[in-house]
Amino acid sequence: MTAEAGVVGKLSTLDRFLPVWIAVAMVLGLLAGRWIPGLGGALDAVRVDGISLPIALGLLVMMYPVLAKVRYDRLGGVTADRRLLWPSLVLNWLIGPALMFALAWLLLPDLPEYRTGLIIVGLARCIAMVVIWNDLACGDREAAAVLVALNSVFQVVMFGVLGWFYLAVLPGWLGLPQAGLSVSAWQIAKSVLVFLGLPLLAGYLSRRLGERAKGRAWYESRFLPKIGPVALYGLLFTIVVLFALQGGQITSRPLDVARIALPLLVYFGLMWAGSYAVGKAVGLSYERTTTLAFTAAGNNFELAIAVAIATFGAASGQALAGVVGPLIEVPVLVALVYVSLALRRRFAAVPAEISP
């Protein structure tokens, strides 16, 4: 039996057929947004200070069980591993935005609105959904917690700066049309606080208080198995809500969606494969290489969509490009979870890092 077959065989029915459930959730969301009058508007209206409460609820429910599994006493061993941290920073904040900029201009030279929307997607590094892809692919949970926290800090500091550089400065140097971006550091900080800070705090407190009251054995053998399936329910709920919100736009403009999808497919594939090659080259274990790859390939779709809508309007091409991001990212990264499991045996010769 191959390594990946052994892993898949141990999964529950919910886990094993996850691609099917995700496909069903996407179709249900699209059809609901298209055929139920006023649903998208009603869901979009449930906002607090610009943050969509249905999406926030789904992401919080999705992330909490995964972050409750993290052994926070091991984070010191992750933060000391420069083979992981430096490649992650370079891939996320240098290579990722530059690659999306290049693909947007190469493949959408005649569609400036979609091109700008894709560049915004490339700037929004993933701090939420990546934790569940990493967990499904048997990545390093502690490393994922560190890298998404690192991305969150850089997102607050660098998102606006990189947006100005890639939309105004670099196109000006190259003699290309320029665009602007209206986004505040507080808007980004709110996204980080809601989509990472709250579930991270809840997961940390669950671990500390649960172990203190009942011990680690009870916490990991009794408590975690009970809350584990909740993460996938949260994922499916988030997907239904997200696609219900934008179902009308996606289904009414299929050719535009196809044009936007092409650079996204190339982007996700190159970032994931390139990150795997980097992890293998620097001697990371399978678990940390997987974490490096998914954190580099994923994007913060909620932030990208919010910024595009706030700057260019809900009916803009930039907003549509942001919406198409998760439409492509979700099935692609689910597929890459299974590719990761298939690659697991190639890392057998690399010793796993030992955390304190």
Q: What are phi and psi of 51, to 5 degrees?
A: -100, 125
Rounded Cα distance, 189 and 191, in Å: 5
Establish if 354 belongs to a structural domain.
Answer: no
What per-residue confidence (pLDDT) applies to 145?
Answer: 92
Which pairing describes strands 51-52 and 47-48: parallel, antiparallel, or unpaired?
antiparallel
pLDDT tens-digit map of 110-146: 999 999 999 999 999 988 788 889 998 999 999 999 9
pTM: 0.83
Q: Tell me: the pLDDT tens digits for 256-293?
A: 999 999 999 999 999 999 999 999 999 999 999 999 99
pLDDT at 178: 87
Per cent of the chain over pLDDT 90 is: 42
What pLDDT digit, counting tens, does each position of 63-119 carry?
Answer: 899 899 999 988 888 888 899 999 999 999 999 999 999 999 999 999 999 999 999
CATH code for the domain of 93: 1.20.1530.20
| Phi/psi of residue 251, nearest 5 degrees | -75, -20
Q: Residue 171: what pLDDT? A: 92
Domain that residue 57 falls in = 3-345
Higher model confidence: residue 48 or residue 206?
Answer: 206
| Mean pLDDT, rounded, of the chain | 85
Q: Please tell me which residue, 275 or 158, carries the higher pLDDT value.
A: 275
Residue 356 within any structural domain of the chain: no
Task: Give the confidence band of 314 by pLDDT, cuts at 50, 70, 90.
Answer: low
73 domain residue, yes or no: yes
Which ranges constitute the DSSP H helices of the chain?
3-9, 13-16, 18-35, 39-45, 53-68, 75-79, 82-90, 96-107, 112-123, 130-136, 141-164, 170-173, 185-192, 198-214, 216-218, 224-252, 254-281, 286-297, 301-312, 317-343
138 belongs to a structural domain: yes
Q: Is residue 353 part of a domain?
A: no
Give, in order, the Cα–Cα distances in Å from 172 to each of 97, 164, 175, 177: 17, 11, 5, 7
Q: Is residue 207 part of a domain?
A: yes
Residue 310 lies in a domain: yes
What is the DSSP-derived secondary structure letter of residue 353?
A: P
pLDDT at site 13: 64
Residue 242 inside a domain? The answer is yes
Question: Could you give the number of structural domains in the chain?
Answer: 1
